[in-house]
Amino acid sequence: MTKIAAFLLTSMIAQSINAQTFIQAYKDRADAVSQTDIITNLQQFAGFGVKTTGSQENANALNWLKNKYLSYGYTADQIAEDPFSFSGVSSKNLVITKTGTVYPNKYVIICGHFDTINGPGVNDNGSGTTIMLEAARILRTVPTEYSIKFIHFSGEEQSLKGSYHYANTVAYQGNSRVMDIKLVFNLDQVGGKMSNSANNTIVYCDEDQGGLQSNNAASVAVTQQLRNCTALYSPLQTEVDPAADTDYIPFEQKGEVITGFFERIRSNLPHTANDTFANTDPVYIYNIGKASVGALQHFAVATGTLGTHEVISKNSLESVNIYPNPVKNVINIEFPNSKVKNFSFEITDFQGRSLFKASNETKIDVSSLENGAYVGILKAGDQTVVRKVLVAK
């Protein structure tokens, strides 16, 4: 690269970063991320068991994902399966396309894998999977200048088989670029470490620092934008982490621009039977979900005003305060709206078995529960809020 070209690229990167400002509509949509949906989807994801690539459990999870998108209002022609095989194993990626208004043939890819090994994989990578679902739910009716592809890869745990297949045969054919990709934004292992839940305040932003050199500067730029969006639209802080062995790598090797999120305090439970819902921090996932929705709007250039058709808060109880958490003896329930009078609060285990239920009580005695993690379900009218509850005496 010549000095003049390098100077021009540096100037473009600086302008791109400096042009990034707070947009209220982006914040409103980021705030529409539902912790209840995240917890519910994490539990359902866990319920499919070990989703090894090629297994029936893996296929069941893919069908569950398809049905989620259909329930959000995506149509059958927006949802595609991408089959691939290796070493006698057959599996499928799932690809959902939301068409852009200005650049319909240029794509922002947001991706993460849904296959697991040796366990239910709630952190690795149910966490990224549920965030993608929330982003797709919230942004379905929001116009974006660039098209968005939500891609759920299988085969990640077997050396990125699914993403290599997609990059090599769909995005590219041989050395010929078939798909015009603006950037690839990956979400992998963002579940947090439950034993350090109070310290889950920082997320890694992945930056391309190796591989091909030609796309490193552009990755630096978009990773800085990801950090900016995280600060603008979530309570999290950020640090930079070198891009590692996950589903954006096949695209990086083709010269595409990559970035992504990864947990800062790393759990040692992925790839084990203990990568369960009990060992993730859903508040951390919720906050990374906010950052992801903010960043995806920025990358795809969403409209900066709210449409009259948008339902920003589908559940006015989402901001209910259920505290302390962890709890020793008494849980307090504080509503955002003092008019809520008729409600119920139920504690269940992770298998859904009810342990007790109270009605219209804002102080609930849980001293009879053993130390551990539970699910709290608050219902008022037709609204439901779900929270993870830790008992620690």
Residue 18 confidence (pLDDT) = 43
* H-type alpha helices, 19-170: 24-30, 35-47, 56-72, 128-139, 161-166
Torsion 292-295-299-305 (CA) sign? positive
Which DSSP state fits 42?
H
Closest to 303 (Cα-Cα) out of 34, 64, 83, 26: 26
Q: Mean pLDDT for each consecutive 10-residue tract of the chain (393 residues)?
A: 37 46 96 95 97 98 98 98 98 98 98 98 98 98 98 98 98 95 98 89 97 96 98 98 97 98 97 96 97 98 86 71 92 87 92 91 94 92 91 89
Instruction: Give the tokens for residue 207.
Output: 């930056």
Per-residue model confidence (pLDDT) at position 17: 41
Walk me through the domains of the chain, giving residue ranges and CATH numbers: 12-300 (3.40.630.10), 316-391 (2.60.40.3080)
Write down the pLDDT at residue 19: 52
**pTM (2 d.p.):** 0.91
Helices 282-300 + 128-139 axis angle, to 10: 50
**CA–CA gap between residue 81 and residue 156 (Å, rounded):** 16
* Per-residue confidence (pLDDT) for residue 314, from 0 to 100: 53
- Residue 350, pLDDT score: 82
Closest by CA position to 284, among listed 297, 300, 267, 298: 267
Instruction: Tell me the angle at which helices 282-300 and 216-233 cross, rounded to the nearest 10 degrees.
Output: 120
Measured at the CA of 295, the angle between CA 105 and CA 65, to 5 degrees, comes to 70
Other residues' Cβ atoms within 10 Å of the Cβ of residue 198? 9
CA angle 109, 110, 112 (to 5 degrees): 125
